[in-house]
Amino acid sequence: VPGAIQSIERAAAVLRLLGNADRALGLHELASALDLPRPTAHGIVRTLYAVGLVDQDPETARYLLGDGLLRLHRGLDGHDLRAAAMNWADSLAGSTGLAVVLGVSDHGGVRLVHHVFRPDGSAQQVRTGQTLPLHATAVGKCLLAFAPTATPPVRELDLARWTGRTCTEVAALDEHLAVARQRGWASSMGEYTSGVGGAAAPVRSGGGLVVGAIGVVGPVEELFGRGERLRSPLAAELLATADAVGHGVSA
Amino acid sequence: MTERVIAAIDQGTGSTRCLLFNHAGRMLGVGQREHRQMHSQPGYAEHDAAEIWRNVRWVVPEALRAAGLTADDIVAVGIANQRETTVVWDRHTGRPLARAITWQDTRTAGEVADLAHAAAEITAVSGLPMASYFAAPRLRWLLDHVPGLRAAATAGDALFGTMESWLIWNLTGKHVTDVTNASRTMLMDLATLCWSDKLLEIFDIPRQMLPEIRGNAEVYGTCTAVLPGVPVAGALGDQQAALVGQACFAPGETKCTYGTGAFLLTNTGSVRPSSTHGLIPTVGYRFGDATVYALEGAIAVTGSLVQWLRDSLGMIPTAAQIETLASTVPDNGGCYIVPAFSGLYSPHWHPDARGVLVGLTSFIGRGHVARAVLEATGWQTREVVEAMNADSGVPVRRLKVDGGMTANNLLMQFVADVLDVTVERPLGSEAVSLGAAYAAGLAVGYWPDLEVLRANWHRAAVWEPAMEPAIRDRERENWGRAVDRSYGWARPD
């Protein structure tokens, strides 16, 4: 058994100290109460602040417990995720000419929290709020592959058939997910709607936690070239966008 | 070879940003820095113009770094700025002679009251309703209160400008303003687009301190600082910039920018408009010799009401979560909020109104209040659109929206519902900066004409009205009754 990690113990002590205090505490109080050098205490409390577990009074610069602690069981709010993603999603739609969707795991499906139209002037409807099947869409498969604890186990999913290409066997779906994990993004080729394909990458907040999936949607032949390979540089753009959105999320 | 770009400097109320745009109107990089908001007394809202200039020098290289470009890649610079904010500085030292008095500052209520006898004349010439919102009363206040300023201004040693003037002067050494910003000073004749002798006399302002009024897309000068050799070729007030960024180039095309406040402008074409319904006739833009006018509805409090719910009441941890909270209930439960925190602007212009929360019963919960907060933005938009329709005679049929609040789908659907028009959000919500870039790019031939810019506009989302007319009418009436209850609350000291 490896030994306890000292910085985590100290972080827990900082949280307990703030939780037991009847007022916000200054850095010097934190450092002296825990008998830590000020730079060490500063590094710990700033990290806790950055991940949302500690708040800072803007007037006095003193620290107190953050809302993030109370919201640990609730996960990231979908509207916060959308706000963090807006500019990047627009930019991805602009550079790829494809529609962009942002999905989160919800009640055994993937709920779209944001949708940007394909920028070609065609008639489209906002799909935000729709829940789609996990096993038949790129954003859904992305969550299955990269957020397995936030989604139901694959063998418990209802692998309903939507098109002739839908994965309806556990083994086949597992194989798709393994490929997705290996290359870093998931795809679908007409598995939910005939002729419509998608590619999606996980959005990771600080620490690597997957908080959603961002993907592009469009005609299969526009996304995929010969040998069903994703058109270049789509994958790179997608991964860069997912990365940028993740950096903007403080979960 | 990398594609060359246009730089836009967006000098806003909260921060200064630089954004870089390519031919397709895509944003390639951004630098941003916030500045201090100084509230030394109740009603005061000031900025340090020197700090803002320092921030410009910081954000431009930052944007270049983010985009992986160098100064050589910049074809021209355009500026969009917070309007009506008043700066005075020393022509010789370049130092501000006072803190900049921002558009949110209400200290000039006294000056405005003293000039009530001239209000009709001021409105007839400038187009603007008599209110402390515009620059001239602030300049008058500065001339009366900053020791030595009037003498220096008369001697030609002190200069006045709104924020774009201050920045162009620092960038190029030229003392100019653009016609949209000038139209918000209350010193310009809206018909001739020149400084009005009559208004200068009423406000008792020395003409020597005023900048030259120029069009929105022309080379004002060449940068000697920040981007040496690059022309400064466009400037617009931020809301007019958004009108251009949203490609509202035809009469009747209308945009609303939802930020701290909301500003709805409709293109009224080449004829100077007037308003009998509480809107502000203003210059939309002047490209070359063609002047396009606009009617504007200014709503003081929209996004700031959400911030108030977050910061002062602590009901939501982030602004975005207003939608989460509002979605917990199907309707407002009969509760309405009129956010007349500093009076009501368009179309009411009631400085003595204050905020009210009405319709409270024991049934009302947090979710209803959150809904009422969002609905207040929808109804205030509706009031402005009603005034637009009455003034112009041509009903608004579609509304192009931009700004931070367009992330809120519940709100955007509500706006479509209560206006009973299609609401469209373009790809890229940076309409203000894009408009400034467009102006500069047109001036230097980066973009050939407005049609090319129109083709850059792509729909990213659309909301269609879906509210039952009977419900819309009932709710409109309730809102009107709530507004009635906000009037006349504030009493003079």
Beta strands in A18-146 (DSSP E): 54-56, 63-65, 99-106, 109-116, 131-133
| Confidence label for A250 from pLDDT (cuts 50, 70 and 90) | low
CB contact under 8 A, A79 and B427: no
Cβ partners under 8 Å of residue B257, min gap 6:
B238, B239, B242, B263, B401, B402, B403, B431, B432
Residue of chain B minimizing CA distance to A98: B460
pLDDT, position A1: 67
| Confidence label for B492 from pLDDT (cuts 50, 70 and 90) | low
Separation CA A189–CA B236 (nearest Å): 47
Separation CA B233–CA B77 (nearest Å): 6
Chain B residues touching A90 at Cβ < 8 A = 427-429, 460
Chain A residues touching B26 at Cβ < 8 A = 91, 94-95
Spatial contact of B79 and B164, defined as CB atoms under 8 Å apart:
yes
- Using CB atoms, pick whichever of B26, B320, B408 lies closest to residue A94: B26
- Using CB atoms, pick whichever of B317, B430, B459 lies closest to residue A117: B459
Torsion angle of the four alpha carbons B381, B386, B389, B395, in this order, in degrees rounded to the nearest 10: 70
Is residue A190 predicted with pLDDT exceeding 60? yes
Q: What is the mean pLDDT of residues B77-94?
A: 95
pLDDT, position B393: 78
CB contact under 8 A, B459 and A125: no
Nearest Cα neighbor of B355 from B491, B489, B492 is B489
B1-22 exposure pattern, b = at least 16 Cβ within 10 A, e = fewer: eeeebbbbbbbbbeebbbbbbb
pLDDT, position A206: 77
Regarding an ipTM greater than 0.90, the answer is: no
CB contact under 8 A, A82 and B320: yes
Q: What is the mean pLDDT of residues B270-293?
A: 92
pLDDT, position B360: 95
Question: What pTM was estimated for this model as a whole?
Answer: 0.87
pLDDT, position B450: 95
Strands B254-258 and B87-90: unpaired
The one-letter code for the residue type at B230 is: V
Separation CA A98–CA A198 (nearest Å): 10
CA distances B372 to A119, A165, B383, B458, B477, Å, are: 33, 46, 16, 31, 15
CB contact under 8 A, B26 and A119: no
pLDDT, position A22: 83
CB contact under 8 A, A77 and B458: no
Tokens standing for residue B128: 């603007």
Q: Return mean pLDDT, chain B.
A: 93
Q: Closest approach of chain A CAs to the CA of B3, in angstroms?
A: 15
Separation CA B164–CA B174 (nearest Å): 11
| Confidence label for A232 from pLDDT (cuts 50, 70 and 90) | confident
Per cent of chain B over pLDDT 70 is 99
A83 touches B: beta carbon within 8 Å: yes
Is residue A67 predicted with pLDDT exceeding 80? no
| Confidence label for A207 from pLDDT (cuts 50, 70 and 90) | confident
Strands B422-426 and B459-463: antiparallel
